Structures are given as structure tokens and as C-alpha cells.
């Protein structure tokens, strides 16, 4: 089976707040990864606001796929139109489901009691949410919003709530529903291979991929620059394993020294795993990144058995008082220097009792740069029981870009120190 033969999936992500840019879409990328893993071809992610004509048009487009997954617009208010517009687009009538009406009503009554409001305030919304397309399968409730699965003449439609946690909680129930299970029976998930590079460019990886013959013949390759790393994903159809091996070899011959992982794990996960495997604890000392390295580490579930804490030492006084950076070092070399970075790493390691530490100090801009120390100058230092390593970088870009580059590079510096013999 090649990608053209996989069942096609369209994602319709609703919400005017997404279109306006007030909130970023988290559901589309999460669902796309899930569908790819299951053997679907995520053909389109469409983000659409709450305007009736635009939402119905997007839903009609979605109904042309094998699977259409819709998120959002299931609430009790006037602008939550997903269900009624889906029914209209599919040519189906709506009905009040008595069981669902009672279940949503019970939730709403409890809420009314807690808030001291009359249940009558909620009854219209309860009826609205309990009114579903004829033939729809009910997945369960997230709050008062019901997840639904619907078999239309062309597509299987999964309707899920907009909040990511609620969507992800109901998703497994959608996979267990009979219409989706029938689709899954026709899929054969491709093998996925991952190559993660750091220190090279997207163009260099693209050039190596072309020199290796490019994708095709059952192998689909995507190259993506993400967080200043270059991610290569290979989708390998059954029977194309040898071609995938050739392509991987062709990429690694010129780029092997930049390869840091052949899994989809983040560098923060790799650092934590490396510390865990060695029985080491980790701390960070941050100036210009303001805690961003610690945030990346603590975003990983289970980080607490390795990561002990961080000191965000923005002012020189804090560097001296909390991290023990010598005032002579600060006076002679400045807060942005290799010497200060090394002292910050040593200081946080001692202060927090960590085995491994990484520090960062730099000038993120847009102001504060000089001819000698321009905006984008960053010093890093990683210290471990086996020794330490410092690094100096001149990062391009705006303040946010410089801070994010420094964060990712600091994690890679720790990884390299831990990998050193």
C-alpha cells in the first residue's frame, strides 16, 4: 500500500479564537500524528471560525474524505453550531436523545446547585447539546459536550470537543466505535523511522536526501526544521524496507556526525534519560533564557526524579549572591562571558546539590549590545562529574529566536557532555 491508497482523513478545527490568533491550535497537529500512526493519510487540516456559511462549507469538504474529524463547537451557546451544520451538510435530520438529555441535565443541575442558579437557566442549552444527528453514536460526555461518531453516505465523521484534554480523553472511545473500527480494518500503518540532526542546516539535509535518490518507491520522506533541529521522518510502506535502509545510509554518510537520535524523543527527554541511566541529578542556571531550559525539562513527565531545580539569575547581584559568581569575574569579564557561564554552572551545581548543571548567559536584545558584545552573543557551560564544556555562539534573529536557540543549544550541550567518554 502506498500513501495514495491509505484512507484519507480531513480535520476540521473550529473556533473563531483560533482564526483570530487568540489561541493556537493544538488539536490539529495532535490528531494528525494519531491518524498517521493508525495508517490514515492526514490530507488536510482546516481551521475555520464560527460563521455559519464558512463552517458548513468546511464540513462539506470534510465529508468528501474517508474520515472527517471535527473539533469544537459543541457547547450550549448560540455560536456552537457544529452539530446542526454537520447534520445539514450530510442531509440528516436532528433528534433529541432522551438518554443524553437526562445525562447532560444531571451535570447541569449539579452545576446549578453549586452556583445557586435556577436550572431553568440551563435547560435551553441542555436540549441543544442533547440534539444530535439521526444515527449518531454517542461516545460520552466531556463536561456537558457529547462526542459523536456518524456514518454518512461517504465519510465516517468523528465529532469531538475543542479543549485538547477533553478531545484526547474521548478519542480512544472514537477508535472503539464500529464505524471507525471498520475503517481501521482497511488500513495498514506504515513503519515510521526518525532521524534527528542538530548543527547542520535544512538545505544540507535536503541536498543529502536528493543525492541519496530522494523518496519514492514506497518511502515518503519529510524534512522539517523544528526548534533549530532538522527532523527527517520516513514513512515506509510494506516491502520498501530495503529502500528505506539505502536512503538512511545515504543521509548518514555525509551527516552522521550531526545525528543525535533515531527516535521521536525530544532533546529534553534524551537529557533526562541520560541522567537517569547514570543515576545523576540535573540543575540549570539561567540568565537571558529566564527559565526556558527548566521549562523544557519539566514539561517531560517524570522529570522530577532527575531535575532538582533552577536559579534564574538575571541581575549581577543575584549571580553573585545565589550562585557565588565572583564579583571580580563579573567586573573583569562581564556578566556575558565564558568565565561567568562557567561560574554559574559550578554555583548552581553546588547550591542545589546537583550532579550535572548547565548555564546560559547572553544578550537577547533588542537593546544591550555593543561592538564587543553584540546582540545574539550567548555563552553556555555544562558541568558533569566527568568534566565540563563551554561554548560561545552568535545567534541571529530577534529576542524570542535568540532565547529559543540558546535553550535548545544548552540542552544539546548537556547531552554531548553526558555522551562524552
pLDDT digit string, tens, across residues 63-101: 999 999 999 999 999 889 999 999 999 999 999 999 999
On whether the CB atoms of residues 82 and 62 are closer than 8 A, the answer is no
Task: Return the pLDDT at 385.
Answer: 95
Answering whether pTM is above 0.75, one says: yes
Task: Return the pLDDT at 1.
Answer: 42
pLDDT digit string, tens, across residues 332-369: 999 999 999 999 999 999 999 999 999 999 999 999 99
Task: Return the pLDDT at 188.
Answer: 86
pLDDT digit string, tens, across residues 9-52: 999 999 999 999 999 999 999 999 999 999 999 999 999 999 99
pLDDT digit string, tens, across residues 189-232: 889 999 999 999 999 999 999 999 998 999 999 999 988 999 99
pLDDT at 314 over 80: yes
pLDDT digit string, tens, across residues 109-151: 999 999 999 999 999 999 999 999 999 999 999 999 999 999 9
pLDDT at 104 over 60: yes
Task: Return the pLDDT at 4.
Answer: 54
Three-state SS for the chain is CCHHHCCEEEEEEECHHHHCCCCCCCHHHHHHHHHHHHCCEEEEEEEECCCHHHHHHHHHHHCCCCEEEEECCCCCCCCCCHHHHHHHHHCCCEEECHHHHHHHHHHHHHHHHHHCCCCHHHHHHHHHHCEEECCCEEEEEECCEEEEEEECCCCEEEEECCCHHHHHHHHHHHHHCHHHHHHHCCCCCCEEEEEEECCCCHHHHHHHHHHCCCCECCEEEEEEEECCEEEEEEEECCCCHHHHHHHHHHHHHHHHHHEEECCCCCHHHHHHHHHHHHCCCEEEEECCCCCHHHHHHHCCCCHHHCEEEEEECCCHHHHHHHHCCCHHHHHHHCCCCHHHHHHHHHHHHHHHCCCEEEEEEECCCCCCCCCCCCCCEEEEEEEECCEEEEEEEECCCCHHHHHHHHHHHHHHHHHHHHHCC
pLDDT digit string, tens, across residues 146-194: 999 999 999 999 999 999 999 999 999 999 999 999 999 988 888 999 9
Taking residues 248-253, report their average pLDDT.
97
Query: How many alpha carbons lie under 13 Å from residue 280 in its C-beta half-sphere?
Result: 21
pLDDT digit string, tens, across residues 251-296: 999 999 999 999 999 999 999 999 999 999 999 999 999 999 999 9
pLDDT digit string, tens, across residues 383-399: 999 999 999 999 999 99
What structural domains and CATH numbers belong to the chain? 3-184 (3.40.980.10), 191-261 (3.30.70.2860), 267-419 (3.90.950.20)
Amino acid at each position: 500500500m502506498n500513501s495514495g491508497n491509505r484512507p484519507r482523513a480531513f480535520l476540521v478545527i473550529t473556533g473563531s479564537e483560533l482564526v483570530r490568533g487568540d489561541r493556537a491550535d493544538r488539536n490539529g497537529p495532535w490528531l494528525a500524528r494519531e491518524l498517521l500512526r493508525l495508517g490514515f493519510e492526514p490530507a488536510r487540516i482546516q481551521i475555520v471560525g464560527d460563521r455559519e456559511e464558512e463552517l458548513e462549507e468546511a464540513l462539506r469538504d470534510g465529508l468528501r474524505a474517508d474520515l472527517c474529524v471535527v473539533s469544537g463547537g459543541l457547547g450550549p451557546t448560540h455560536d456552537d453550531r457544529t452539530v446542526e451544520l454537520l447534520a445539514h451538510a450530510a442531509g440528516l435530520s436532528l433528534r433529541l436523545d432522551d438518554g443524553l438529555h437526562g445525562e447532560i441535565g444531571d451535570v447541569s443541575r449539579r452545576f446549578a446547585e453549586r452556583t445557586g442558579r435556577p436550572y431553568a437557566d440551563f435547560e435551553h442549552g441542555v436540549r441543544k447539546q442533547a440534539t444530535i444527528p439521526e444515527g449518531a453514536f454517542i461516545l460520552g460526555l466531556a463536561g456537558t459536550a457529547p462526542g459523536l461518531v456518524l456514518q454518512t453516505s461517504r465519510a465516517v465523521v468523528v465529532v469531538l470537543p475543542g479543549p485538547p484534554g477533553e478531545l484526547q480523553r474521548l478519542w480512544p472511545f472514537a477508535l472503539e466505535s464500529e464505524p471507525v473500527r471498520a475503517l481501521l480494518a482497511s488500513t495498514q500503518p506504515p513503519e515510521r523511522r526518525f532521524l534527528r540532526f542538530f548543527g547542520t542546516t535544512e538545505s544540507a539535509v535536503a541536498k543529502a536526501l536528493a543525492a541519496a535518490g530522494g523518496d519514492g518507491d514506497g518511502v515518503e520522506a519529510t524534512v522539517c526544521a523544528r526548534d533549530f533541529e532538522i527532523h527527517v521522518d520516513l514513512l515506509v510502506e510494506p516491502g520498501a524496507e530495503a529502500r528505506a535502509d539505502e536512503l538512511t545510509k545515504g543521509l548518514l554518510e555525509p551527516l552522521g556526525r550531526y545525528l543525535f537520535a533515531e527516535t521521536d524523543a525530544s532533546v529534553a527527554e534524551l537529557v533526562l534519560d541520560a541522567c537517569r541511566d547514570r543515576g545523576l541529578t540535573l540543575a540549570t542556571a539561567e540568565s537571558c533564557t529566564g527559565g526556558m531550559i527548566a521549562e523544557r525539562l519539566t514539561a517531560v513527565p517524570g522529570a522530577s526524579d532527575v531535575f532538582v531545580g533552577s536559579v534564574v539569575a538575571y541581575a549581577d547581584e543575584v549571580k553573585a549572591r545565589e550562585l557565588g559568581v565572583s564579583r571580580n569575574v563579573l567586573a573583569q569579564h562581564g556578566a556575558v562571558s565564558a568565565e561567568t557561564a562557567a561560574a554559574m554552572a559550578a554555583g548552581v551545581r553546588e547550591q542545589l546539590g546537583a550532579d550535572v548543571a548547565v548555564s546560559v548567559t547572553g544578550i537577547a536584545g533588542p537593546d544591550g549590545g555593543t561592538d564587543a558584545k553584540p546582540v545574539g552573543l550567548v555563552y553556555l557551560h555544562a558541568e558533569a562529574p566527568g568534566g565540563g564544556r563551554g561554548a560561545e555562539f552568535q545567534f541571529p534573529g530577534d529576542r524570542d529566536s535568540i532565547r529559543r536557540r540558546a535553550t535548545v543549544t544548552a540542552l544539546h550541550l548537556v547531552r554531548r557532555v553526558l555522551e562524552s567518554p
